Amino acid sequence: MADIYTLDSFYRRSNGLSQADPPLTLEQRRVVDSHWGDVTAEPGGVDYTERELGGVPVLWAVPRDAAPDRVLLCLHGGGYVGGSIYTHRKLYAHLAKATGVSAVLPSYSLTPERQYPAQLDEVTAVYRALLERYEPGHLAVTGDSAGGGLTLSVQLRARAEGLPLAAALVPISPWTDMTQSAASIVTNRPTDLLFGDPYPMSIDGLVAMLLPEGVKPDDPLVSPLFADLTGLPPMYVQAGGAEMLLDDAVRLQRAAHEHGVEAELDVTAGEQHTFQMSAGRTAAADAAIARAAAWLRVKLGL
């Protein structure tokens, strides 16, 4: 694995390993995924502490000189089957440092060991605990890929439970449609290095592992694209122009506007799914994080 220093090379290797003979076991696949964070540079000037919040293990990333009364709830990606607070700690530390706030990353359960709604339940428990420490106007939620979908779902759950909503949301390459109905699932297959050609990933297979019998892929809490987004916080949605989930972001902005929600869409042409993982190593990733951080600072009153 020592040859993986760029996001593109990691994605190409991950895509190719889908054809391993014999097939990789789940644990072997997770070992590969554990190197996802290798592509991200250390931000420096950030302290990490593992704690428990709302009964869920979490990782705090606290930049020096961070505002003591502002926080980012950061939800890692990985298709609900992989990824962790460790693979994503540097990504969200970069965002937290650029914003000037602390970040908290929940270690939510993975599938197939635990199916939906365990992940949403755990993230909501962390969100509820953060509301006991921070004013809702001083709290923002962000997440990438599956975590980008969770970013929206946790606010939909909070709204249903009568909890205060966050000040802002930053979904990054969000997976918002588990029915895979987006046109870009097909049109961007040749350019998506992770999910696409030459060995297209079975995204439907991830859905089948996550959802128990009786929960449909178009359920608004698992596919927030189909939810009533009325009243949700303002959103800053980022995506890469080469990724198959591009239209999950494009249609999210459209749906937000249809429900009267402020939403900005920031697509970087030619970039891959969650290209922000290259923070500290590529200009595109650093620029995207800087734009998101500048937007967050305004929404958090910094």
pLDDT at 19: 87
2 assigned to some structural domain: no
DSSP 8-class letter at 275: G
Averaged over 59-78, what is the pLDDT? Answer: 98
pLDDT at 202: 85
With a pLDDT cut of 70, the percent of the chain lying above it is: 99
Contact 71, 134 (CB under 8 A): yes
Averaged over 63-77, what is the pLDDT? Answer: 98
Contact 178, 206 (CB under 8 A): no
Q: φ and ψ at 278, to 5 degrees?
A: -85, 20
pLDDT at 2: 42
The angle at the Cα of 91, spanning 108 to 228, to the nearest 5 degrees, equals 55
SS3 at position 80: coil
Domains contained in the chain, number:
1
**Cα separation, 137 vs 301, whole angstroms:** 8
Distances (CA, A) of 38 to 5, 113, 145, 247: 6, 26, 18, 28
1/100: higher pLDDT? 100
267 assigned to some structural domain: yes
Helices and strands per DSSP (H, E), number in the chain? 9, 8
**Cα separation, 178 vs 231, whole angstroms:** 23
The answer to whether residue 260 scores a pLDDT higher than 70 is yes
25 assigned to some structural domain: yes
Written as one string, the DSSP assignment of 94-144 is HHHHHHTSEEEEE----TTTS-TTHHHHHHHHHHHHHHTTS-GGGEEEEEE
Question: Residue 13: is it exposed, middle or buried by C-beta count within 10 angstroms (0-12/13-18/19+)?
Answer: middle
Query: What is the tens place of the pLDDT at every residue in 177-213?
Result: 999 999 999 999 999 999 999 999 889 999 999 999 9
SS3 at position 195: coil
1 assigned to some structural domain: no
Contact 11, 278 (CB under 8 A): no
Averaged over 216-244, what is the pLDDT? Answer: 98
pLDDT at 18: 85
98 assigned to some structural domain: yes
The answer to whether residue 4 scores a pLDDT higher than 90 is no
The answer to whether residue 132 scores a pLDDT higher than 50 is yes
256 assigned to some structural domain: yes
Residue 61's domain spans which residues? Answer: 7-299
Which range has the worst mean pLDDT, 9-13, 168-172, 287-291?
9-13
127 assigned to some structural domain: yes
Over the chain, what is the mean pLDDT?
96
Strand order through the sheet with 168-172 = 46-53, 56-63, 102-106, 71-75, 139-144, 168-172, 235-240, 263-268
pLDDT at 1: 39
43: domain CATH number is: 3.40.50.1820
Distance of CA 105 to the CA centre of its chain: 11
Distances (CA, A) of 231 to 150, 174, 226: 17, 19, 15
Averaged over 131-153, what is the pLDDT? Answer: 98
pLDDT at 5: 76
pLDDT at 234: 98
